Amino acid sequence: PLGSCALFEFIDPASPRAGLRTQLARLPEPGVRRPRARAHVTNALLLYKNDADLTAAEAELAVAAAMDPRYPLGRYNHAILLTLHGRFDEALESLKAAVKRDGAWAEEARRAPEFEPLREDPRYLAILSSAPPPRRRERPTSKAQEPKADAEAPAPSQKRSAQPGRRRY
């Protein structure tokens, strides 16, 4: 699932008599990058929240940011841990990338206590003030989630059962 391998053959123009040169190359599956980046973000958050291992968490987020630079959650959390390490220039670049992808991260950054050392930095304020509007995340409705017609809705006078319905996971 991580990729495929391919065997390439090249003619070396410097020495055409030498014939063909073969090269084995790994071709990563493009659809795997986002799930793998998410896995690294999850690892980092577990290391940060549960073990308080900032160094390992930052390393995981660096991998996630490199693997999928367009993934705003990874970039935002990477900015947090870079700030905690005192690497403010890198943190601002990562925060800028996250905010550029989704303006909701600017609001998160305003509330996050980890960004306290950057609150007065003009670059930080510029990033937050230039944030685009947050992206809307609408969930697709399935037939089971569609609202029922008025005829099928229970009458307001009917009491609901005291027992909550069972959920299947």
Segment 34-75, tens digit of pLDDT: 888 899 999 998 998 887 888 899 999 999 988 888 899 999
Instruction: Please state the φ and ψ torsions of residue 27, each to the nearest 5 degrees.
Output: -110, 105
Q: What is the pLDDT of residue 150?
A: 47
**129 in Cβ contact with 96 (< 8 Å):** no
b/e code 97-113 from CB counts within 10 Å (16+ = b): bbbbbbbbbbebbeebe
pLDDT of residue 94: 94
pLDDT number for residue 49: 85
pLDDT at position 169, please? 41
| Tokens, residue 125 | 């304020």
The pLDDT-based confidence of 155 (bands split at 50, 70, 90) is low
